[in-house]
Structure formats: C-alpha cells, structure tokens
Amino acid sequence: MKPILRLGVAILLLTVAAACDDIADIAPPPQALKDDAVGAYCGMILVEHAGPKGQVFEKGRKDPLWFTAVRDAIAYTRLPGESQHTVGFYVHDMALATSWEEPQRDGIWIAADSAFYVVGSDKRGGMGMLEMVPFGTRDAADAFAAEHGGKVMKLDEIPDSLLLPESGSAGETVAENPRAMGNHK
C-alpha cells in the first residue's frame, strides 16, 4: 500500500473512532423502570420501594445504573472515581407522579440538572431515608415544600453533607437537624 494511501486510511480510521467516541458521550433517553431493576448501591429491587428513583447512564453502557433513591443517585454523581464517565442522569418528576408509593415507571423522567429538589421534607424515599424530591417546575416544588416541609434547591445547591451524612444521621430530616442545611459542600 502506498504511504499516502496508508496515511489516508489512518486518518479516516481516526476520524471514525473520534466520531464514535463523541456519540458515546451523548446522553441516551431515560429508560422505563422494569420489574427487575436493581439499585446500584443497595442491590434491592427498585419497584419494592416508595418514592422517586434515579437512573445514571455511563459512557459505553447501554443500560442505566438504577438508584432506589434520588439521594443515592446524586451522591453517585459526586463521588470521585464513581461517575467520571456519566453521560446522562434522570430522576422522576414527582409533580407528574400519580402515587408516592409507586411512581410511574415511564413518561415522568426529567434531566436531573433541570429539576427543582425539595430537601428535608417529611417524605421518605427508598428504604426510609431522607430524600431529595425532584420536580419539573419550581411551582410544584414550592407547593410540595409548603405541604411537607423542606427547602427548594437546584441540584448544584444540595450540600454533599446531606448526601453522605455522618454515621447515625442518615435518616434525619432538616427539621430534626437544622445544621444539615448549612451551605457547606
């Protein structure tokens, strides 16, 4: 093969490889929650637990990592070494949910970074833990907070200390521990 032809083939292959790599970075659409979906951290069947759920897509994986609680999904995306390959992150829009106990499995997923979260409400998520309750609109989040307590925040405003609380405080609400709402990360 002539050197110029080899160079052309090499450039073509590198261009195709780069294009495939860019495609892998595009977030796939959210998937419907299936009966057998298992939480990435807890190993529990998601549909057996109340409250909103999360799904995280990583580069090179066609199926999402499922999370029994939105709080766990947020924690995953912030832990060093865990989510460096995240290309998509979705949460239930609880304004569209017909039930806290069993949110719909499809059609109510929103991008996590577009949601408004009620933090510190009296509602508990998967496995009875403090939950970050996501809503697609600020008005829906405000209405939920007025009824159930808590503070409305965007994803980047939620302090890390509420995601991975100290031992013994994992289930505390902000009402039980007002220090938990500090502005520290």
Q: Assign residue 141 the CATH number of its domain.
A: 3.30.70.2060
For 109, the domain range is 26-181
**Alpha-carbon distances of 108 from 27, 31, 65, 135, rounded to whole Å:** 17, 10, 17, 10
Judge whether residue 176 has pLDDT over 80.
no
User: Structure pTM?
Assistant: 0.78
The mean-pLDDT minimum among 95-104, 111-120, 128-137, 164-173 falls in 164-173
Distance between the two ends of the chain, CA-based, in angstroms? Answer: 58
Return mean pLDDT, the chain. Answer: 81
Q: What span, in angstroms and rounded, lies between the C-alpha atoms of 159 and 168?
A: 18
Would residue 159 count as lying in a domain? yes
Q: Which residue has the higher pLDDT, 24 or 129?
A: 129
Would residue 10 count as lying in a domain? no
The mean-pLDDT minimum among 16-30, 131-145, 167-181 falls in 167-181
Judge whether residue 154 has pLDDT over 60.
yes
